[in-house]
């Protein structure tokens, strides 16, 4: 046979991989297993929370992938037999593979946060998977009275999109400044330093005065438990009962990675960065947030670049050719107010078992407002380009 590849997860990593496989070799049988008919994307979902954008702008379907010859299976993968090489979906169907790609994104490491679970997320939203959670946090902000406190609890790294919690704090402050100016944003942080910190802190001072207060790890900012019935957040420093509580729990690879046996004790999946093949199970590749990428931040850009590089490696492996060494490019924009953006960009290459940054940097800290405005426009263009490339 020409080769059967099953891809689990139709987000930025999985959809990009499925498409690149089919484009590289039209004879490949490519099956994409994803439980949702509509993907709701996280980039720009902070704008939805702040009332600057509607959720519909975040939604994408799989019709174009199907039209390109990819079989779309609207089911969750429930079991994986890596001996007989088959993926079984929730309805009991089994799909055999020569190579399997997992791009399941993240799940929450709930043992690390007592009190927090799916039921708790109904009162204390995480909004770290876009969709109903995004809208719930927005509704809570809308219902809050002026003078209230919005707390955002941020986990340690590795986690999905390290700068996005600070972007969220910024856009919530933007919303409050115009609607409820006596309110506060309180960041409870399990880190001391964070991505693009100087850029964020400069923007906060310029745009929001002292509306945003941050309690860092060394000041006791790490959240140790929550009580959803009283909306209490317990930190190493003390207890907080904010009017709106947004707790982003610690994370690990999506649950199915554990089922397949490709996640290690860290909760993430070690890979060979040249092929994305699991270090633990042969013929299974892991891309996107779920893999242990080292220096490459977990982002949609990275997941997409990894998905494509993995597709190229699989095509080479199936035809007995040596895989090329990937050079991945990732760019991550932060929009902290309408017309005010900055970014982090990098090139990454395999070094040992991980990716190392070979080149990169952030926007300059001291830059005219025109550059911030231009980067906000570029961010929108980036969103249009990556979503068209993945789903359009
Ligand atoms: P996902 O996109 O989460 O896709 C995983 C898919 O797998 C899901 O569709 C899920 O339904 C499916 N799945 C899970 N389990 C199974 C199963 N058992 N069977 C079948 N399917 C399954 N990144 C950027 O580059 N730029 C940004 O500006 C940016 N902003 C962000 C803002 C926020 C608030 C957040 C939370 C994230 C942001 N990100 C951004 C990060 C980006 O969303 C993720 O890094 C990216 O989605 C990772 O892609 P993925 O394919 O690994 O996972």
Question: pLDDT tens digits, residue range 23-76?
Answer: 999 999 999 999 999 999 999 999 999 999 999 999 999 999 999 999 999 999
CA neighbor of 14 nearest in space, from 121, 87, 81, 85: 87
Q: Nearest residue CA, atom 51 of ligand 1?
A: 13
Q: Kindly state if the Cβ of 89 falls inside 6 Å of ligand 1.
A: no
Chain centroid to Cα 378, Å, comes to 20
Q: At what angle do helices 132-143 and 164-179 cross, to 10 degrees?
A: 30
Q: Given the CA of residue 299, which atom of ligand 1 is nearest to it?
A: 45
Say how many Å lie between the CA of residue 243 and the centre of ligand 1: 28
Q: Kindly state if the Cβ of 163 falls inside 6 Å of ligand 1.
A: no
- Decide if the complex's ipTM is over 0.95: yes
Q: Give me the pLDDT at residue 287, please.
A: 98
Three-state DSSP class for 299?
Answer: coil
Q: Give me the pLDDT at residue 1, please.
A: 52
Q: What is the distance between the alpha carbons of residues 28 and 372, in angstroms, rounded to a whole number?
A: 44
- Is residue 87 within 8 Å of residue 94, measured between CB atoms? yes
Q: Given the CA of residue 105, which atom of ligand 1 is nearest to it?
A: 53
The radius of gyration computed from the CA coordinates of the chain, to the nearest angstrom, equals: 21
CA neighbor of 16 nearest in space, from 86, 94, 141, 103: 103
Say how many Å lie between the CA of residue 42 and the centre of ligand 1: 7
Q: Kindly state if the Cβ of 42 falls inside 6 Å of ligand 1.
A: yes
Q: Nearest residue CA, atom 14 of ligand 1?
A: 104
Q: What is the distance between the alpha carbons of residues 255 and 244, in angstroms, rounded to a whole number?
A: 28
Q: Give me the pLDDT at residue 136, please.
A: 98
Q: Kindly state if the Cβ of 154 falls inside 6 Å of ligand 1.
A: no
What pLDDT tens digit does each residue of the chain (392 aa) get? 579 999 999 999 999 999 999 999 999 999 999 999 999 999 999 999 999 999 999 999 999 999 999 999 999 999 999 999 999 999 999 999 999 999 999 999 999 999 999 999 999 999 999 999 999 999 999 999 999 999 999 999 999 999 999 999 999 999 999 999 999 999 999 999 999 999 999 999 999 999 999 999 999 999 999 999 999 999 999 999 999 999 999 999 999 999 999 999 999 999 999 999 999 999 999 999 999 988 899 999 999 999 999 999 999 999 999 999 999 999 999 999 999 999 999 999 999 989 999 999 999 999 999 999 999 999 999 999 999 999 99
**And the tokens for 10?**
């139709």
Q: Kindly state if the Cβ of 343 falls inside 6 Å of ligand 1.
A: no
Q: Kindly state if the Cβ of 135 falls inside 6 Å of ligand 1.
A: no
- The pTM (predicted TM-score) of the whole model is 0.98
Q: Kindly state if the Cβ of 35 falls inside 6 Å of ligand 1.
A: yes
Q: What is the pLDDT of residues 175-216, one digit of tens each?
A: 999 999 999 999 999 999 999 999 999 999 999 999 999 999
Identify the H or E element spanning 360. Answer: strand 354-362
Q: Give me the pLDDT at residue 2, please.
A: 73
Chain centroid to Cα 203, Å, comes to 23
Which is it for strands 29-33 and 71-73: parallel, antiparallel or unpaired?
parallel
Say how many Å lie between the CA of residue 12 and the centre of ligand 1: 6
Q: Give me the pLDDT at residue 169, please.
A: 98
Q: Nearest residue CA, atom 18 of ligand 1?
A: 77
Q: Nearest residue CA, atom 43 of ligand 1?
A: 42
Say how many Å lie between the CA of residue 195 and the centre of ligand 1: 19
CA atoms within a 13 Å half-sphere pointing along the CA-CB vector of 313: 25
Q: Kindly state if the Cβ of 276 falls inside 6 Å of ligand 1.
A: no
Q: Kindly state if the Cβ of 304 falls inside 6 Å of ligand 1.
A: no
Which is it for strands 39-40 and 59-60: parallel, antiparallel or unpaired?
antiparallel
**H helices present in the chain, as ranges:** 12-24, 45-49, 63-67, 132-143, 164-179, 197-208, 255-260, 300-318, 369-391
Say how many Å lie between the CA of residue 230 and the centre of ligand 1: 30
Q: What is the distance between the alpha carbons of residues 218 and 215, in angstroms, rounded to a whole number?
A: 8
First-to-last CA distance in the chain? 29
Q: Given the CA of residue 331, which atom of ligand 1 is nearest to it?
A: 25
- How many Å is the maximal CA-CA distance in the chain? 66
Say how many Å lie between the CA of residue 126 and the centre of ligand 1: 14
Q: How many residues does the chain have?
A: 392
Three-state DSSP class for 95?
Answer: strand
Dihedral pair phi/psi, residue 214, rounded to 5°: -125, 130
Q: What is the distance between the alpha carbons of residues 52 and 170, in angstroms, rounded to a whole number?
A: 13
Could you identify the residue written with the tokens 């799909």? 95
Chain centroid to Cα 65, Å, comes to 21
Q: What is the distance between the alpha carbons of residues 102 and 263, in angstroms, rounded to a whole number?
A: 11
Q: Nearest residue CA, atom 15 of ligand 1?
A: 104
Say how many Å lie between the CA of residue 210 and the centre of ligand 1: 32
CA neighbor of 208 nearest in space, from 186, 234, 232, 235: 186
Say how many Å lie between the CA of residue 158 and the centre of ligand 1: 14
């Amino acid at each position: 046979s020409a080769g059967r590849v099953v891809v689990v997860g139709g987000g930025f990593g999985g959809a990009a991989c499925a498409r690149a496989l089919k484009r590289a070799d039209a004879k490949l049988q490519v099956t994409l297993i994803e439980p949702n008919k509509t993907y709701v994307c996280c980039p720009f979902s902070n704008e939805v929370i702040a009332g600057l954008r509607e959720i519909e702008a975040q939604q994408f379907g799989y019709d174009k992938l199907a039209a390109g010859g990819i079989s779309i299976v609207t089911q969750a993968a429930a079991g994986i037999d890596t001996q007989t090489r088959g993926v079984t979906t929730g309805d009991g169907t089994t799909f055999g593979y020569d190579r399997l790609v997992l791009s399941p994104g993240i799940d929450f490491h709930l043992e690390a946060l007592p009190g927090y679970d799916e039921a708790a997320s109904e009162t204390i939203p995480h909004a770290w998977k876009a969709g109903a959670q995004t809208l719930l946090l927005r509704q809570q902000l809308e219902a809050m009275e002026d003078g209230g406190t919005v707390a955002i609890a941020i986990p340690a790294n590795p986690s999905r999109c390290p700068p996005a919690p600070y972007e969220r704090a910024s856009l919530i402050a933007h919303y409050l400044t115009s609607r409820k100016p006596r309110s506060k944003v309180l960041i409870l942080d399990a880190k001391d330093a964070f991505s693009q910190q100087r850029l964020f802190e400069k923007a906060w001072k310029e745009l929001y005065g002292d509306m945003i207060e941050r309690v860092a790890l060394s000041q006791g900012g790490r959240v140790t438990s929550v009580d959803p019935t009283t909306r209490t957040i317990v930190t190493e420093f003390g207890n907080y009962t904010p009017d709106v509580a947004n707790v982003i729990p610690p994370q690990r690879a999506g649950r199915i990675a554990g089922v397949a046996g490709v996640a290690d004790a860290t909760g993430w999946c070690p890979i060979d960065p040249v092929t994305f093949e699991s270090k633990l199970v042969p013929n299974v590749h892991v891309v996107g947030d779920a893999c242990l990428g080292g220096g490459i931040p977990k982002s949609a850009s990275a997941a997409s670049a990894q998905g494509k590089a993995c597709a190229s490696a699989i095509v080479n492996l199936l035809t007995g050719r040596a895989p090329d060494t990937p050079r991945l490019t990732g760019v991550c924009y932060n929009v902290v107010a309408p017309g005010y953006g900055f970014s982090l960009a990098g090139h990454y290459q395999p070094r040992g078992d991980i990716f190392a940054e070979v080149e990169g940097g952030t926007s300059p800290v001291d830059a005219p407002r025109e550059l911030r405005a231009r980067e906000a426009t570029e961010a929108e263009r980036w969103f249009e380009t990556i979503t068209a490339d993945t789903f359009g």
